[in-house]
Amino acid sequence: MHLSYCTNVHPAEDLDGVIRQLREAAGPVRRAAGLAVLGVGLWLPAPLAARLASEPEALARLRGTLDDEGLEVRTLNAFPYEAFHAEVVKLDVYRPDWTDPARLEYTVDAARVLAALLPDGADGSISTLPLGWRDGWDSAADRAATDALAALGAELRAIRAETGRTIRLAVEPEPGCTLDDVDDVVAWLAARRDRLDLDLIGVCLDTCHLAVSFADPAEAVERIAAAGLRVVKVQASAALHVERPADADARRAVGAYAEDRYLHQVREDAPGGVIRVDDLPEALAELPATAPWRVHFHVPLHLVPEPPLASTTDVLRTALAAVRAVQDVDQVHLDVETYTWSVLPGAPVDLVDGIAAELRWAHAELLEGAEQPA
């Protein structure tokens, strides 16, 4: 697997900002982690992706900065469209959805940029939202999304014919969305195999989202493979686990993670079936709290939350082992996606040191047989 860290943790919205983040964060992270080359999973807001796709000089400037800093790009995160670090993001991160032509245009721009940035002989991946948020999604929306993804497949084939570079789309199930979990995305893609190019459209396995769903990670991966689908990308991430959410100390501890920028969906693993709410304050007010909770808050992989909270890194380990067991992982992209550093409770952490520590943890814990960083 090819390891990277996702740059959606940085708030850059234009080319100058992205270049600054590469020089002031990604380059120093590479050096702090002791790596000769560091993978970066770039997040490019839609206006910047459009500029880079149409201006060779701007793209050359970005490529030159990557080369100068010892960085390589094999994957892009095209889930957030723009303004991912606005004061309030919440449901805006799911807009525009796959019914809007702007989503297709953005993804094609991202694919053209990635084709120009890939190392020789490497395939690329682009992660995207699971169609859209569930509210208001109907059969007409479903048809529009299917048409858009079919059109994207044609664009990806054209890019491969023009450049010799294979770019795959990785659809990322997320709690609360139209495709809420792995079962949803497997069923949706498999039912449309006559319309969609499933060689070029597969699954992004975000292991925080997987943990929140309370699915068995090995069984989830096996269902992907059994449907003839590919895990294109793994977003290495961990959720919060609350074993006894009725406990007063646990409620105080998890309540510290409630914040105004991002949505933090919560699931309770109740005996009668998983109970779902869309944000942490709602969970604290409404859930029965008689069974364990999982919270969609990406916690740094190497940091163990203070008891009585825990993280779900075991789900990450199990899921990766399952992916290795069912498919060739040479072109699978493993992207560390902790975008929540700026909203973590407690004292601020130096971002370069934090990301470097996560990457060292990922090398030691996830990349079996890989060369360890110095």
Residue 64: count other Cβ atoms within 10 Å of its Cβ: 11
- What pLDDT, in 10s, does the model give residues 157-206? 999 999 999 999 999 999 999 999 999 999 999 999 999 999 999 999 99
Rg (CA), the chain: 19
3-state helix, strand, coil in the chain (%, to 5): 45, 20, 40
Question: For 189, which DSSP code?
Answer: H
Residues in Cβ contact with 171 at an 8 Å cutoff, skipping those fewer than 6 apart: 127, 128, 130, 131, 179, 185, 189, 201, 202, 203, 204
| Backbone dihedral region for residue 164 (phi beyond 0: left; psi -120 to 50: alpha; all else: beta) | left
pLDDT band at 373 (very low <50, low <70, confident <90, very high): very low
Position 368 scores a pLDDT of 63
Position 371 scores a pLDDT of 42
**3-class SS of residue 295:** strand
What six digits make up the tokens of 259? 């914040």
Whether 374 shows a pLDDT value over 90: the answer reads no
Whether 50 shows a pLDDT value over 50: the answer reads yes
Position 347 scores a pLDDT of 81
Angle 235-239-242 from CA coordinates, rounded to 5°: 165
Per-residue pLDDT, averaged over 257-263, amounts to: 98
Long-range contact set of residues 219-223: C-beta below 8 Å, sequence gap at least 24:
220/181, 220/182, 220/183, 220/319, 220/322, 221/182, 221/319, 221/322, 221/323, 221/325, 221/326, 222/322, 222/326, 223/182, 223/183, 223/186
Task: Work out the end-to-end distance of the chain between its first and last CA atoms, rounded to an integer number of angstroms.
Answer: 19
Residue type, 372: Q
Range in 84-93, 213-222, 285-294, 346-355 the model is least confident about: 346-355
H/E element holding 281?
helix 280-286
* Spatial CA neighbour of 332 closest among 219, 194, 236: 236
Alpha-carbon span 157 to 163, nearest angstrom: 10
pLDDT band at 372 (very low <50, low <70, confident <90, very high): very low
What six digits make up the tokens of 93? 């991160």
Alpha-carbon span 369 to 235, nearest angstrom: 20
pLDDT band at 100 (very low <50, low <70, confident <90, very high): very high
Residues in Cβ contact with 365 at an 8 Å cutoff, skipping those fewer than 6 apart: 301, 313, 317
* Spatial CA neighbour of 200 closest among 229, 168, 170: 168
What six digits make up the tokens of 160? 């491969």
pTM above 0.85, yes or no: yes
- What pLDDT, in 10s, does the model give residues 124-147? 999 999 999 999 999 999 999 999
Name the average pLDDT for the chain. 96
Alpha-carbon span 321 to 318, nearest angstrom: 5
